[in-house]
Amino acid sequence: MERPAWAPPGIDISVPSVSRIYDYYLGGSHNFEVDREAARKAMEFMPGLPKVMQANRAFMRRAVRYAVAEGVTQFLDIGSGIPTFGNVHEVARAADPESRVLYVDHDPVAVAHSRAVLADEDRAAVVNADLRKPHDIIAAPETGDLLDLDRPVALLLVAVLHFVADADEPERALAELRDALAPGSLLILTHASYEGIPLSQERASGTVGVYNEIRNPLIMRTRDEVTRFFDGFEMVEPGLVSMPEWRPENPVDQEDPYAFSGFAGVGRKR
């Protein structure tokens, strides 16, 4: 198997990664054949997966612009993945040049590529850490250097919590992060669900099976289960909705039903 020059040393390129699969769905080039193979397998059950990911990114950009408009110019993006065009720091910087962004991921390829992209940035950095260990994120030197936790921060958990099993206590991890943030901070979140997918649950579960096979279980949660992640936050209008329905900048395009899979929402810490 040919090893790309950009692949960091020590990476096992025979094991798929969710962040590199996501990169493939978005048309990126930082993925290996094993990632593409898993993505194609998942798309056999849900051919609209790339559209779901595009809707995720579009929501993220709108939510970042919303945060800046609300005076929140510090961003903590956990499970940030591999940087692509229109990433958080680019969107935030376009809205306010003083914006600061800390990316967090545990995929070494995502971290290495982020470091390369951010090499000349003084208001953006990346930390190699895991959402399931929030203390490591809060205590990281880069967090203290870049973010002032006494002022509001926008915490982004975009397409990441559905990879955290209940046994890993995602609500506990989120509560720890929430408690470290100042009042007025925002939670920007998307989550996969069987609700909204234009397929039977039986067929959609084939995609879930592919992620289980690559040891990155995809946890499909209900609206009520996703709502619980906003404990301690006051939902911003229009509440928890499908991604295209969250404060659209243009009339909502109903043509691709896959874009309406899962949920998106923003909450403000009381």
Sequence spans of domains, the chain: 52-200+218-269
- The answer to whether 59 and 91 have CB atoms below 8 angstroms apart is no
Q: What is the bridge-based pairing of β-strands 263-269 and 74-78?
A: unpaired
pLDDT score of 179 more than 90: yes
Which amino acid, 84?
T
pLDDT band with cut points at 50, 70 and 90 for residue 251: confident
73-86: pLDDT as tens digits: 999 999 999 888 78
Q: Which of 1-10, 145-154, 212-221 has the lowest mean pLDDT?
A: 1-10
**Which residue from 54, 25, 49, 23 is spatially nearest to 244, judged by alpha carbons?**
54
Q: Which of 73-82, 105-114, 261-270 has the lowest mean pLDDT?
A: 105-114
Q: pLDDT value at position 112?
A: 87
Looking at residues 202-223, what average pLDDT do you find? 96
Long-range contacts of 219-222 (CB under 8 A, 24+ apart): 219/161, 219/162, 219/163, 219/164, 219/165, 219/166, 219/192, 220/162, 220/192, 220/193, 220/194, 221/162, 221/191, 221/192, 221/193, 222/193, 222/195
Question: CATH number of the domain at 52-200+218-269, out of 3.40.50.150, 3.40.50.10190, 3.40.50.10070, 1.10.375.10?
Answer: 3.40.50.150
